[in-house]
Structure 1
Amino acid sequence: MRSLRSIDRVEQPSRPQPRTAGRPARPVGHVLRIPIYMNSSMLLLAALVTVVYGNWVRSELDLPDPVGYLVGLGFVACLLGSVLLHELGHALTARRYRIGVRGITLELLGGWTEMDRDAPTPKVDALVSLAGPLVSLVLGGVATAVTLALPDRTLADQVAFQLAASNLLVAVFNVLPGLPLDGGRALRAGLWALIKDRNRATEAAAWSGRVIAFACMVVAIWLYRLELVTLFGLAFVILVVFTLWQGAGQSIRLARMTRRFPLVDLAALARPLLTVPAGTPLGEAQRRRSEDPRPNVVLAVTDSAGNLTALVDPVAAERIPVDRRPWVAVDTVSRSRDAVPALPLGLSGEQVVRALQAHPAGQYVITAGEEDQDVVGVLRVGDVADVLEPRRPRRPAP
């Protein structure tokens, strides 16, 4: 059996992603002050490789069962080390060009490095992207030299050969010119330098990734029919192809969204406020809103001095039975003004998206005036999503 470590991707989003608090992976430590996370899917792969490789090496070298599985577990540890070194190649190169690294995640199909901003130039984008495959190529070369120096059909020889094959195959596979592979990012960098438009370059490289995914599927089925690939190998390739297709689709979607950032205008998206005094019955407040000629009016609560103190939560308000709304004060279904994130009116579209990603919430108050104290409207995150993805299915407005 000749193991193939799975694909790798560098997370270099077109714009910063939400903070890692919601990351679906467990922290396992730090390397060079870079947080390392492991997805639970990696444990599934580790168990599978331990059993499959352990059985193979046990039968090839006539080893006892416990020893074979122990060797399989050691091989998994070496593969994880190879994946980590590959990702560190990306991460340390990014640091070299002052791009912050939020963390490295190891998962079922390899790993990915999360960076806090885009590469500033096509050259840096290409260097960061190709650093990982270069590390894998060096590791594969070293393992190949070790394999040639060791006696044939020994345990050390077999492990070294597997490491050589997996790292070299990963290095070659990852430089294929299609997103989300590293070679796709290098292709994106080249197109970016040529046409001076990062988003169009990303979309083109992503479509190239989908072509590569389709080609991989065709080749895998052809090799399976020739009995050169096992059913397990075909299933693995299908999983890789699915991941490539999904990653390419995500890149296309992100590029199209990023192109629409300038259309995010807070002044145009701000929903107007209809203020009612604290203690106003919910039914009465909703009646006033229904009679207001302005579209998408948001109910807000003011104190006795007329200062805005809270925003009515539309979801909480709808949960109140209609027959009880005349007896329930708006205060009970409202959220304090201080608990709602604020966005200054003068932000650009890109700045708005960055702020929404850094501080996720359902709605935001839009402020203006001296020291941004005056609330001039409310932004619903769904309204921004409608601008960035106009073709997505829309939910009924609350």
Structure 2
Amino acid sequence: MEQSVPRPRRPGRPGRPVGHVLGIPIYVNGSMLVLAALVTAVYGNYVRAELRLPEPWGYLVGLGFVICLLGSVLLHELGHALTARKFGIGVRGITLELLGGWTEMDRDAPTPRVDALVSLAGPAVSLVLGGVATAATIALPDRTAAGQIAFQLAASNILVALFNVLPGLPLDGGRALRAGLWALIKDRNRATEAAAWAGRILAFVCMIIALWLYRLETLTLFGLLFVLLVVFTLWQGAGQSIRLAKMTRRFPLVDLARLARPLLTVPAGTPLGEAQRRRSEDPRPNVVLAVSDSAGNLTALVDPVAAERVPVDRRPWVAVDTVSRSRDAVPALRLGLTGEQVVRALQAHPAGQYVVTTGEDGKDVVGVLRVGDVAEVLEPRRLRRP
């Protein structure tokens, strides 16, 4: 699966960096390690019984299969990543996790054609790997460790390719469906929502089939739990796609001139209590306190969280400078950016607040943008829930 996230990124990533492939950072989620250990144990026991191997050798074969499987997942995601790079889309990284992996890109595909090609590149790689593994299965001697690994890789890669092309987000086939609808109705966001609802229907159908097979005793309890985990992941991923499409539709409402909060500057050394008194008397709404030097130049912004932590009885004796952040340490946004450009800038440089500047040199500060104000524009209903 590939993913382009049109929202500010969290400072941390759900995975540990393990290296680079062709310049692309690779991360491994802790859940992938859990799955690797489980597959090593389950498949190791299966191979040991089938080939009558001693216990340590069975688990070594299981570990070998896991390594090959991880390699297959990585190649699948590289199919997405390299195709995206070919069309000028930056790739932030590939994360391997419990049920496969995902590729994070820095922007959406510019056209439906590119969207479809990037989406289907991963399943195409898996299908090729499945074909190669099938040929290896036929060529290798029967009832050998190598033959068993080749057979399992053939089955798993072909299954992954077929499952991923099912028409529903967040699967790759859902992204291809989104591309087709986008080309048809000329609205990417509506196409995304439609493909995401198809994904939710797909998840529901998979759950019904799994429960029916379990009732017929065709599917084991372990198999049922695994399928339900996949169903839950599909449902959550589809829901996130719906949410992101709705957010993207609201990008034009992100207007820096309207959202920037006005500044009230006080000289360096002003007591915090006095600065807060001046702000309370200012008739403008949502005023942000700032600090200026003797020449009147803006030097820092008051950190509202740090200011609130100062006890009320101490505020007359604490200089406003001590609860402020240097102007140079606060990211800047130029007045005149489009809503999408603002969101992309927040995504690239996560912070709690940003100075809004104007002028040719970008040094004239006209206000402060709080990231919470942008979030309220993009998801008003979500933030108003109790």
TM-score norm. by structure 2 comes to 0.96
Runs of 4+ in 1 over 6 A off after TM superposition: none
Which amino acid letter does the alignment assign opposite residue 308 of structure 2? E
Q: Which runs of 5+ in 2 are unaligned?
A: none
Query: Alpha-carbon deviation of 1:35?
Result: 2.2
The separation in 2 between residues aligned to 1:17 and 1:123, in whole angstroms, is 27
**Consecutive unaligned residues in structure 1, runs of 5 or more:** 1-8
1:22 to 12, 18, 21: 12
Amino acid at match of 2:3: E
The residue that corresponds to 1:232 in the other structure is 222
CA, structure 1 residues 305+151, in 2 after alignment: closer, same or farther (shift >3 Å)?
Answer: closer
Render the CA deviation track for 1:182-215: whole Å, top value 9, x for unaligned.
Answer: 0000000000100111111111111111111111
Cα drift, residue 16 of structure 1? 7.2
- Does residue 249 (structure 1) correspond to residue 234 (structure 2)? The answer is no
Secondary structure of 2:108 counterpart:
coil
Q: What's the offset of the Cα at 1:119?
A: 1.3
CA distance in 2, matches of 1:36, 1:319: 40
**Deviation per residue, 1:72-129 (Å, 9 max, x gap):** 0111111111111111211222222222222222111111112222211111111111
Q: Shift of the alpha carbon at 1:18?
A: 3.6
Query: What is the CA–CA distance in structure 2 between the aligned matches of 1:211 and 1:306, rounded to whole Å?
Result: 60
Contact map agreement 1:276 1:285 (CA 8 A) in 2: yes
- Provide the aligned length of Structure 1 versus Structure 2: 386
Is residue 2:319 matched to residue 1:333? no
Residue of structure 1 in register with 2:71 after alignment: 81
Deviation at 1:352, TM superposition (A): 0.8
Letter in 2 for 1:355: A
Counterpart among 88, 101, 112 of residue 102 in structure 2: 112
Q: CA deviation at 1:178?
A: 0.5
**Amino acid in structure 1 at the alignment position of 2:313:** D
Distance 1:250 1:217 in 2: 19
**How far does residue 149 in structure 1 lie from its aligned partner after superposition?**
3.8
Distance 1:151 1:303 in 2: 81
Query: Residues 242-274 of structure 1: CA distance to partner in whole angstroms, max 9, x if unpaired?
Result: 111111111111111111011001111111111
SS in 1 for 2:361: helix
Counterparts in 2 of 1:376 and 1:292: CA distance versus 1, 3 Å: same
- Residue 370 and residue 77 in structure 1: after superposition, are their counterparts in 2 closer, same or farther (change >3 A)? closer
Opposite residue 4 of structure 2, the aligned amino acid is Q
Structure 1: distance between partners of 2:117 and 2:41:
37
Cα gap change, 1:395/1:305 in structure 2, threshold over 3 Å: closer, same or farther?
farther
Measure the CA separation in 2 of the matches of 1:333 and 1:30: 40
Q: Is the 8 A contact 1:257 1:388 kept in 2?
A: yes
Q: 2:379 aligns with which of 368, 389, 392?
A: 389
State yes or no: 1:10 paired with 2:33: no
Verify the 8 A CA contact 1:39 1:107 in the aligned structure 2.
Answer: yes
- The range that moved more, 160-169 or 45-54, is 160-169
Give the residue type in structure 2 aligned to 1:185. Answer: R
- Among candidates 44, 47, 54, match of residue 64 of structure 1: 54
Q: 2:183 aligns with which of 190, 193, 196?
A: 193
Alignment match, 1:275? 265
Counting only pairs closer than 5 Å after superposition, residues 176-215 of structure 1 correspond to structure 2 as 176-215=166-205
Moved more, 311-320 or 152-161: 152-161
The aligned counterpart of 2:155 is 165
Name the counterpart of 1:3.
none
Counterpart Cα distance in 2 of 1:162 and 1:355: 45
Match of 2:305 in 1: 315
Q: CA deviation at 1:156?
A: 3.0
Tell me the residue number matched to 2:212.
Answer: 222
Do 1:16 and 1:116's aligned partners in 2 also have CA atoms closer than 8 Å?
Answer: no
Task: Give 1:290's match in structure 2, choosing from 264, 272, 280.
Answer: 280
Identity, % of aligned positions: 85
Amino acid at match of 2:2: V
Contact 1:16 1:117 in 2 (8 A): no
Secondary structure in 2 matching 1:371: coil
Could you say which residue in structure 1 is the equivalent of 2:370? 380
Report the CA distance between 1:329 and its aligned residue. 1.6
| CA drift at 1:17 | 6.1
Match of 1:5? none
Instruction: Pick closer, same or farther for the CA change 1:325–1:17 going to 2, 3 Å.
Output: closer
1: distance between equivalents of 2:67 and 2:356? 51
Who is 1:4 aligned against? none
Tell me the distance in 1 between the aligned counterparts of 2:196 and 2:369.
Answer: 32
Q: In the alignment, is the contact (CA less than 8 A) between 1:17 and 1:116 conserved in 2?
A: no
Mapping of 1:256-271 within 5 angstroms?
256-271=246-261
